[in-house]
Structure 1
Amino acid sequence: MTYLSKASLPRFAIAACLLFGSAVAWAANDTPVGTWQQVDDETGKVKSIIQITSNNDELQAKVLQVLISEDGPHPVCKKCDGDKKDQPIEGMTIMWGVHADGDVWDGGKILDPKSGTVYKVKLSMADHGQKLDVRGYVGFSLIGRSQTWIRQQ
């Protein structure tokens, strides 16, 4: 049996902290929870900053900041229905009802504020948690559009 000497204890403690810290950092990147740069699938430019949170194992996303808009610096959801109609897009919840299903998250909805259309949504992690594939679709997942969001550091 090997014992740690008093001299090696600090080195062991530091190594253990580094190992645990890197495991925590990796675990934090294995879910969509976090802040993301929404990359437009048509232009390839970062369009907005989105924050995904988890509440009782249900993911939802809120627009923190709109970076590019055809309607000026603080756009509203002109084509939305219901309580989102003519409301500011910044601060708006655009995704809700999403639950983990193995390596994907689905079962929820996502709103495209530009068109006012609500789609079913499926999320999957890519590039060791640094990218998020967001698939919005109507009916079958094959018919829809995808964006890749980039985790904001």
Structure 2
Amino acid sequence: MRLLITFALFLFAFAKAYSQDITGVWKTVDEESGIVKSHVEIFEKDGKYYGKVLKVLDPAAPDIPLCVNCDGNLKDAPIEGLVIINNLEEKGKVYKNGTVLDPENGKSYECKIWLNEDNPDLLMVRGYILFLYRTQTWLRLK
């Protein structure tokens, strides 16, 4: 009996260790041009999830891209290093109840994200206001 319980605990720990999650570095891609625009790191802190821009890759961006359309203390903040996803809570396979900032227009939106069920290397990122929403697909950087 103890052997069976030990084996079951081992399997659970193994499955948890190798299951895909949202943490890591993701490539954001412009849907129209197909150009990779940035690398964003999703990380967990105190039970909530955040996303920080590591690198802006958009060739049209200035050398030091700034959040010129942001308000308050984010006004003219460098986009690299900027936390654009805040306070997501894990609710099963979906992470929600947080916000996402669009550094191009300086607006924040309610946000939820989840892994594509068919391909865990695709992250679905949805920003929305009321019934209007837009979903982007981010690619896991390996």
Q: TM-score, normalised by structure 2?
A: 0.84
Higher strand share: 2
SS at match of 1:37: strand
| Structure 2 unaligned regions, length at least 5 | 1-10
3-state SS of the aligned residue for 1:83? Answer: helix
Q: Is the Cα contact below 8 Å between 1:119 and 1:137 reproduced in 2?
A: yes
Cα deviation 1:46-87 (Å, max 9, x = unaligned) = 100000100121000000000005341221000001111001
Equivalenced residue count is 131
- The question of 1:54 aligning with 2:44 is answered yes
Match of 1:137 among 104, 128, 132: 128
Q: Which 4+ stretches in 1 moved above 4 angstroms? A: 22-25
Q: Shift in Å at residue 151 of structure 1?
A: 0.5
- Please say which structure displays the higher CA radius of gyration: 1
Give the conservation status (yes or no) of the 8 Å contact 1:80–1:116: yes
2:111 is aligned with 1:121: yes
List alignment gaps of at least 5 residues for structure 1.
1-18
Report the secondary structure of 2:64's partner residue.
Answer: coil
Matched, 1:77 2:67: yes
CA RMSD of aligned residues (A): 2.0
Letter in 2 for 1:134: V
Q: What fraction of aligned residue pairs are identical, expressed as a percent?
A: 40
The superposition leaves residues 84-135 of structure 1 with CA deviations (integer Å, 9 ceiling, x where unpaired) of 1001000000010101112111100000000001000110101442010000
What TM-score do the two structures reach when normalised by structure 1? 0.78
- Distance in 2 (alpha carbons) for counterparts of 1:97 and 1:23: 26
> Matches of 1:25 and 1:35 in 2, distance apart?
18
